[in-house]
Amino acid sequence: PEMTNLSQPLRQRLSEAFPKILPDEIKRNVSEDGTIKIAFRLEDGEIVECVAIPDEKTLTFCLSSQLGCHWGCAFCRTGEGGFKRNLTSNEIVIQILALCRSTQKKPTNIVFMGMGEPLENYKVVFSAIDFITRKETMNFASRRITISTVGIPAGIQALAEFPGEVNLAVSLHAADDNTRSSLVPANKKFRLDGLRSAIERYIDITNRRVTFEVVLLKDKNDGIHDAMNLAAFCKGLLCHVNIIRFNRFPTTNFRPSTEKAEKEYRKVLKKAGVNVTVRNSKGGSILAACGQLRSEL
């Protein structure tokens, strides 16, 4: 179907920039909350997944930046299949066009929170962002784009120097090295003190608020002491904490935190003056929620 809400000249330019017709969806799942997950085959036969998440006033496109991921965060399904390769900037832009085709709408927000670590492929991701934010292409506002990272200091520095107002979200999950390393293996390479320094520099350069994402897991990182560690980590930083409810998938032994533990955790942060929100994940029933994507059929 035609993307009728995109102007004719824009459609013309997009078809010239992407002469090959958009790949056919090989799988499309729609969850009861309206979330759409699509999978399509790339030219080399690999499969990429991306997601459209509708809310009352927003439509967020969640994009992948790599095929698989080699960081293997303990509670994330994407890393289970290992890392295959980086996506190209065309393959990133194609996800947006495919989701526009699927939803018949343009997104209000774009997040790099699909498969892969965007700041490991940042040159390509920045090139895709540069393309979609240009006036003559999609004219998408950079401040409505968020890059989520396990916390690669060199990539955070590159993002700080990138022209535009792209938002940074850091998958923190714990603010002490032992706990974080057990959940986010990248922490064994990029320890918290180095990560915090990179975040401080990013805030100094951009004056933009950083989001810390925390998936609360029962008896793993949801204790009062965990919340106190996080409050200490946030002290003096222009930041806010986004608590994400854990999305289970078939091969995991982790359990979501209880409501009571989550409430106590939030209370500690609020008392310390940390701005905290809770993200209600969508798309769980079709394995489209945070940490559930994996390129398989």
Active site residues: 49, 290
Exposure string for 80-90, b = 16+ CB within 10 A, e = fewer: eeebbebbebb
Contacts of 15 (CB under 8 A, 6+ apart): none
**Residue 160 to residue 213: CA distance in whole angstroms:** 19
Percent of residues in the chain assigned helix, strand, coil, to nearest 5: 35, 20, 40
Q: What is the DSSP letter of 286?
A: G
Find, among 168, 266, 177, the residue nearest to 216 by Cα.
Answer: 266
Rounded Cα distance, 127 and 166, in Å: 13
Cα→Cα distances 271→262, 264, 266, Å: 14, 11, 9
Q: Measure the CA–CA gap between 76 and 82, rounded to whole angstroms.
A: 12
